[in-house]
A and B are shown apart, each in its own frame.
Chain A
Amino acid sequence: MAAGFKTVEPLEYYRRFLKENCRPDGRELGEFRTTTVNIGSISTADGSALVKLGNTTVICGIKAEFAAPPLDAPDRGYVVFLSVPNVDLPPLCSSRFRTGPPGEEAQVTSQFIADVLENSQIIKKEDLCISPGKLAWVLYCDLICLDYDGNILDACTFALLAALKNVQLPEVTINEETALAEVNLKKKSYLNVRTNPVATSFAVFDDTLLIVDPTGEEEHLSTGTLTIVMDEEGKLCSLHKPGGSGLTGAKLQDCMSRAVSRHKEVNKLLDEVIQSMKHK
C-alpha cells in the first residue's frame, strides 16, 4: 500500500517522513550515507580511486604524460581534463542518460570539478614541471560514474581527491647529451597535494527544509540544491547554488557548520585508507 502511495504522490509520501525528521531510508536529515573508498584499484593508471556514497559509485583514474609547458608559463605543468567532459555519466549509471555526446548534467559536473581543482589550488602547477620551458607533466583525470543515485558532486570531488593522493610520479631526468627524458620507474614519489577540498551537498525541500546528501529520488523532488566545498582551514573553495528556492543567511550558516563536520569525517576516512596503502 505504501508503494502505491509513493508512486501516485511521491512528494506527500516524502513529507510524511520529513515531518518525523527522518527519511525513507532511515537516515536523519543531517546524516550522510555510508561512504566507502578504495584507492589504487586500476593498475594501469598512475593514480585511481573508487568512491561509493550509498549507491552512488564514481571511479576516478589519473594518467600522467609528458608535454611541453605552456608558453606563457614555462615553469608550470598542466592538470588537464581529457577533452572535457572529464566526468562521464554513461547510460550504465542511470536510465536518464543516453549514449552520444555528453549531456548537460555531465558538462555541468565537469565544469564544477574543473572549478574546484582550480579554486582550491590543490596542486601547485610548479610541482608538475620537470624542466622549465622544455618538459612538464600533464595529468589526465577521468571520472566515470558507475551508479547514479544522487549527490554526484560530492562523490566526484572525493574520488578526485583520493586519486590525486594516490598518484605516484616516476623520477625524470633529462639526459644532457641526447636531450631526451629518462624515466626511472623504480623511483616514484607521491604528488604534493596541498589541500583537501571536501564537498557537502544539500537539497532544499518546500523552500524551508535542508537535507544532507540527497539520493536520486530526493534530488528529483527537491526545490533546490546547494553544494559547499571547503578545505581544512575552513576556507570555501566553492559555494555552488544553481538556482532553486531562496536561502537566508542563517540557513547558510547551518550548512557551513555541517560542511565543517563532514570535512573532518572525510579527512579521517582518507587518512585511514592512505595509511593502509602505505603499510602494504
Chain B
Amino acid sequence: MEIAKRADAELGAGTAAEPGPRSPGCSLRHFACEQNLLSRPDGSASFLQGDTSVLAGVYGPAEVKVSKEIFNKATLEVILRPKIGLPGVAEKSRERLIRNTCEAVVLGALHPRTSITVVLQVVSDAGSLLACCLNAACMALVDAGVPMRALFCGVSCALDSDGNLVLGPTTKQEKEARAILTFALDSVEQKLLMSNTKGLYSDAELQQCLAAAQDLSPGFGQLG
C-alpha cells in the first residue's frame, strides 16, 4: 500500500475509484484501479470490480525469441494465472481472447521484432472475471507506455430467467443467470472488439446488452 501511495506522490500515477451503490439494473459495483504498484515490470495495474481483483504486469517492448518473432510487428503474449491450481484449457482460451483484443489496439508496427508480454494474476474472483482481466490488461499497457490506438474496456452482463439485465454480475448472480455475456469495447467508437458468451439468449437480448455496455464504456475510458 505504501509503495502505491509513494508512487502516487512522485509519478502522479493514477488511483481512481468510483463509488457506486449497487442499484438493480444498470449500474456497476464499486470499481477501482491502481497503477504502478510493481517495481520489476515496465507497467503494472491492479483492477478491482466489487470483490473481484486482478493484478496485471506488462513487460515490453523487449527481446523476442527468434522462433516467435514477427518481422513487421510486435509479438504479444498473454499469461493468465488462476488463483488456485495450474492453468488449464479454460485459461488458454481466455488468454487467446485477451491477446487478440490487445493485438487489435496495440500499435505493434511501431516495435517490430519485439515482444510485449502481459501477465495477469487472479487475486480474487467474485464474478465478472474476464471483464476485470481485460480492464487490468488495458490499464497495465497504458502504465507501461505501450503505444495503442485506443483503450478498451471489458463489460460483463448477466441475463436472468426473467430477461432482466444485470451489469457486472457477482458469482451468485452468474450461477443463477440464464446467460452471461462479456464484451470488450474500444474507447473511440465503442465498437465491439471481443465477445464471449455463455448460455442461451436471443438476438434482441444481445442488442440490449451491447447497448447497455456501450453506454457504460465512456465511464471506463475516463479512468484511463
Contact = CB atoms under 8 A, between A and B. Distances in A.
Q: Do A and B come from one complex?
A: yes
Interface of A: 84-85, 104, 107-108, 110-112, 115, 118-121, 223-224, 231, 234-249, 252, 256
B201 A235 contact: yes
Contacts of B103: 243-244
B207 A237 contact: no
Contacts of B2: none
Interface of B: 88-90, 92-93, 95-104, 181, 184-186, 189, 191-203, 206-207, 210-211
Contacts of A245: 104, 191, 193
B86 to A, nearest CB: 13
Contacts of B198: 115, 118-119, 238
Contacts of A111: 89-90, 92-93
**Consensus secondary structure, chain A interface:** mixed
B195 to A, nearest CB: 4
Contact of B202 (A236, A238, A240): A236
Contacts of A246: 104, 185-186, 189, 191-193
Nearest to A237: B200
Given A107-B92, A236-B206, A243 B200 contact: no
A245 B95 CA distance: 17
15 contacts: A84-B88, A84-B89, A111-B92, A121-B200, A234-B202, A234-B203, A235-B201, A241-B193, A241-B196, A242-B101, A243-B99, A243-B101, A246-B191, A247-B191, A252-B210
A222 to B, nearest CB: 11
- Sort A-B residue pairs by CB-CB distance and give the 3 closest, nearest first: A243-B100, A246-B191, A111-B93
B92 A104 contact: yes
A223 B197 CA distance: 21
Contact of B206 (A110, A239, A242, A248): A239
A18 B12 CA distance: 49
Contact of B104 (A237, A240, A244): A244
Contact of A108 (B93, B191, B207): B93
